[in-house]
Amino acid sequence: WTLVVVVSKSGDAVETRNAMLEAQHRYEQAGLNFAAHAVVVTRTCSALHRRCSEEAWLGGFRIWDWVGGRTSVTSAVGLLPAALQGLDVEAILAGARDTDVITRNRDAMRNPAALLALMWYHATEGRGTRDMVVIPYKDRLALFPKYLQQLVMESLGKEHDLDGRTVHQGLTVYGNKGSTDQHAYVQQLREGLDNFFVTFLAVRRDRCGTGDPCGTGF
């Protein structure tokens, strides 16, 4: 039994709509009722929400208007797929709450998020003059650079600042998993253009324990 989860806060994203229509077409080709296998995550009264109601989809989950699309990972947008994969949703939310407490500290020296933002600002002269390369050293973080790419570039890539001045600023983000892809990346970083800075990500404690130490060669 297959469940289709259609996610779009606005309810009219072209890419999401096209993927949904393709899935619906495949269901129809197989003689299956798409609506009986589909749930939606969107804001109330969106076109997608209306479609879900009119076609009597299996169910729906709300995205609150004040929840930003790219920062919605701890809403139904991220938690529903996580729950369907068997992840501990309560543990995810507990970690998010702990992170909220730490990152709302007004003392920047005791706030890791503020420190990281200040380092990024300093490294790019406040205008995105250098690219940021994200290299995680953990298989389970392989997709994290892509998540940061959307989060950072969509948030900071702006033509105008808050005062309406034309600035054309942002921060270009790219990267890949360090343990396997560093062979290509580090060559460029070591000997190529000096137009970047690197954010390395390492796991201090794995949920499965500590692995065997790595050697220096065969």
**For 140-193, what is each residue's pLDDT tens digit?**
899 999 999 999 999 899 999 889 999 998 999 999 888 788 777 788 888 889
- Is residue 41 scored above 90 in pLDDT? yes
**For 9-31, what is each residue's pLDDT tens digit?**
988 889 999 999 999 999 999 99
Residue with structure tokens 């589909």? 38
The structure's pTM equals 0.78
**For 49-72, what is each residue's pLDDT tens digit?**
999 999 999 999 999 989 887 888
In this prediction, residue 4 carries a pLDDT of 96
- Is residue 3 scored above 50 in pLDDT? yes
Q: Residue 84 phi/psi, 5° resolution?
A: -65, -25
CATH number 3.40.50.10490 given to 4-89: yes
In this prediction, residue 188 carries a pLDDT of 85
The shares of helix, strand and coil residues in the chain, as percent rounded to the nearest 5, are 45, 15, 40
- Is residue 214 scored above 90 in pLDDT? no
Contacting residues for 28 by C-beta, under 8 A, at least 6 apart: 34
Helices and strands in the chain, H and E counts: 7, 8
Domains 4-89 and 107-202 share a fold: yes
Q: What is the band of 130 on the pLDDT scale with cuts at 50, 70, 90?
A: very high
Q: Give the CATH number of domain 107-202; options: 3.40.50.10490, 3.90.79.10, 3.40.190.10, 3.40.50.300.
A: 3.40.50.10490
Q: Supply the mean pLDDT for the chain.
A: 90
Are the C-beta atoms of 11 and 47 separated by less than 8 Å? yes
Mean pLDDT across the stretch 195-209? 83
Mean pLDDT across the stretch 112-120? 94
Of 185, 77, 93, residue with least CA distance to 137: 185
By residue count, the chain amounts to 218
- Is residue 218 scored above 50 in pLDDT? no
Parse the chain into domains and list their residue ranges.
Answer: 4-89, 107-202
In this prediction, residue 216 carries a pLDDT of 54
Quick count: other Cβ atoms within 10 Å of Cβ 115?
12
Are the C-beta atoms of 11 and 42 separated by less than 8 Å? yes
